[in-house]
C-alpha cells in the first residue's frame, strides 16, 4: 500500500506542476483565483504535513504564492511526504493523528487517510483551476491521473 501512496504523491506533484505551467502559459491573463487555488493546495498540504509531524505549520493555508513558487513548493512537499511514507512503513500509515480543524473542532485521522485526502483535495482544486482557465480562454493542463499513468509520467 505504501507504494500506491507514493504513486499518488508523485501524481499529485506532477499535476500541481502541470497546473502551475498552465497558469504561467496564460501569463498575466490567468485568472487570479486560479493562482490562489493552486497556492491553497500547497498551503493545505503543508498544514497536513505539520499535523502529521506534530510541528508548527510552514505557511498559511491560503498563502500568497506565485505559480513558480507553488511549483517549487510542490517538489518540496513530494520529498517531505515521500520520506514520511518510507519512514512510517505500513504500520505507521495506520497511526492516528489528532488535530483541530479550521473551526477548532478536534478530529483524529490516520496518516493513510490524510494522504488520501490531500491528493483528492488537490485534484478537486485543480479541476476548479482548469475550469477557470478554460472560461477565460486558456488551455488548462490535462492532469487526469490515468493520463499520467498511460503516458509514463509516473
Question: Is 40 annotated as contributing to ligand binding?
Answer: yes
CA 51 to chain centre: 15
CB-count burial class (<10 Å; 0-12, 13-18, 19+) for 4: exposed
State yes or no: 4 annotated in a binding site.
Answer: no
The reply to whether 138 sits in an annotated binding site is no
* Contact of 132 with 34, CB cutoff 8 Å: yes
Question: Please, what's the largest Cα pairwise distance for the chain?
Answer: 47
Annotated binding site for a divalent metal cation: 40, 121, 125
Annotated binding site: 40, 121, 125
Amino acid at each position: 500500500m505504501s507504494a500506491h501512496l507514493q504513486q499518488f504523491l508523485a501524481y499529485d506533484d506532477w499535476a500541481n506542476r502541470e497546473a502551475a505551467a498552465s497558469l504561467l502559459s496564460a501569463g498575466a491573463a490567468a485568472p487570479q483565483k486560479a493562482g490562489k487555488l493552486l497556492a491553497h493546495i500547497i498551503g493545505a498540504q503543508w498544514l497536513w504535513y505539520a499535523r502529521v509531524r506534530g510541528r508548527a505549520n510552514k505557511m498559511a493555508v491560503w498563502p500568497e504564492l506565485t505559480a513558480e513558487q507553488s511549483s517549487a513548493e510542490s517538489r518540496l512537499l513530494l520529498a517531505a511526504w515521500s520520506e514520511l511514507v518510507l519512514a512510517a512503513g505500513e504500520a505507521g500509515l495506520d497511526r492516528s493523528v489528532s488535530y483541530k480543524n479550521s473551526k477548532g473542532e478536534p478530529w483524529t485521522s490516520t496518516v493513510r487517510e490524510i494522504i488520501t485526502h490531500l491528493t483528492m483535495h488537490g485534484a478537486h482544486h485543480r479541476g476548479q483551476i482548469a475550469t477557470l482557465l478554460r472560461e477565460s480562454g486558456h488551455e488548462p493542463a490535462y492532469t487526469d491521473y490515468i493520463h499520467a499513468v498511460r503516458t509514463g509520467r509516473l
